[in-house]
Structure 1
Amino acid sequence: MKIAFVLFDGVTFLDFVGFYDVIYRLNQFECSKGVTWDICGLTDEITDELGMKVKVQKIRPHLADYDMVFVPGGLGTRKLRFDETFVNWLREAQDVKYKVSVCTGSLLWGAAGVLQGKKATTHPRAYDLLAEYCDVVRERIVRDGNVITGGGVSTSIDLGLYVIEWLAGVDAMHEVKQQLDYPYLPPKVVEILEA
């Protein structure tokens, strides 16, 4: 599996790092070895909403070449959803096997048309913005077919654990929880089965 982590100016780095720190552990398990990833953006350096900077590995790669595309949230999403260059780039992931977001990253999937006819979630303070694009489910994690969305910032770890369990099994998820010293019970996950 090849994963693209999509970053942008105004991202909340905890959205990204919470998921990343969990999901990179897929390579520990026999059934999910061989996972690779790229940290991607439209420019070579991204500045988060607090001023922290990070270098990206791939500048505007073709997102259709990935198996999973992950989009974090952040204050920058409010304006970025109207940025045609970014939204058109994200549209390249329309046929990617797994489309994942946490927090207001779902607004960007919505702007790219990925959430049309789907159910999704986001940060509770952005439910009204997400309603423009899809049916909003007020839960921490929603999986509608191959689109998986998570709630606010802290959900990034829960979301990563859900994806680990989904791809590598419940034992793998419990092993990662122990590695992280993560004592919390998994949140309710709303799963919409495709017809």
Structure 2
Amino acid sequence: MKMAFILFDSMTTLDFTGFYEAVTWMGILKAKETMSWDFCSNKEEITDDRGLTMKIDRVLPDLSAYDLVFIPGGLSTRQLRYDPDFMSWIQTARDVPYKVSVCTGALILGAAGYLHGKKATTNPSAYDLLAPYCEEVIKERYVRDGNVFTGGGVSASIDLGLFVVESLTNEAVARKIQEKMDYPYYTAGLRK
């Protein structure tokens, strides 16, 4: 499984790192074969919403080469969804099997057309912004509709990561990763 983590200026880093920490354990534990991931953006270096600067591995790669694309949130998603170059790049993920977002990353998935006819969630402060892009906004920490996964606000990224792990592997792997992360709040086996 090959994953693309989409990073961009003014993103919220916990949106990314909570999910990243959970799902990359699948590779460490060899729970999925040939796990790999890339840090992708539309530029070589990004700065998050608190001033942390990160170098990017892959600039504007064709996202169709991935099995899972993940988009975090942050206030900048409100503008990025109207950026034609950025959105054109995100639309190269059209045929990617799994599309995942946390927080207002759902606005990017929605603007790309990936939430049409689907149920989704986002940060509670952006429910009204998400509504035009999906069939129904669900006020939960994480939602799965087919192969599209969306998470609520910021810290929900950890729960969503564990839920994606459980969905792609099984309950036992999710529990093992939960234990490795010393994270007691996720309830494995609760819903699929």
TM-score by length of 2: 0.95
**Equivalent-residue separation in structure 1 for 2:30 and 2:54 (angstroms):** 31
Deviation at 1:56, TM superposition (A): 0.7
* Range with bigger deviation, 51-60 or 27-36: 27-36
**Equivalent-residue separation in structure 1 for 2:133 and 2:150 (angstroms):** 13
Q: Tell me, which stretches of 5 or more residues in structure 2 are unaligned?
A: none
Cα contact 1:73–1:102 (8 A) shared by 2? yes
Let me know the Cα RMSD of the aligned residues.
1.6
Deviation at 1:10, TM superposition (A): 1.1
3-state secondary structure, aligned to 2:132: coil
**Equivalent-residue separation in structure 2 for 1:188 and 1:114 (angstroms):** 26
Deviation at 1:163, TM superposition (A): 1.1
Cα contact 1:70–1:101 (8 A) shared by 2? yes
Q: Deviations over 1:18-74 (max 9, x none)?
A: 110111100244441321000000000011111111001000000011000000001
Deviation at 1:185, TM superposition (A): 3.6
**Equivalent-residue separation in structure 2 for 1:78 and 1:26 (angstroms):** 32
Structure 1 residue 132 corresponds to structure 2 residue 129: no
Query: Residue 72 of structure 1 aligns with which residue?
Result: 72
**Count of residues paired in the alignment:** 191
TM-score by length of 1: 0.93
Letter in 2 for 1:103: C
Query: Residue 119 of structure 1 aligns with which residue?
Result: 119
Quote the sequence identity (%). 52
Q: Deviations over 1:92-135 (max 9, x none)?
A: 11110000000000000111111111111000110000012112
Structure 1 residue 165 corresponds to structure 2 residue 189: no
Query: Once superposed, which parts of structure 1, at least 4 consecutive aligned residues long, lie more than 4 Å away?
Result: 187-191
Q: Tell me, which stretches of 5 or more residues in structure 1 are unaligned?
A: none
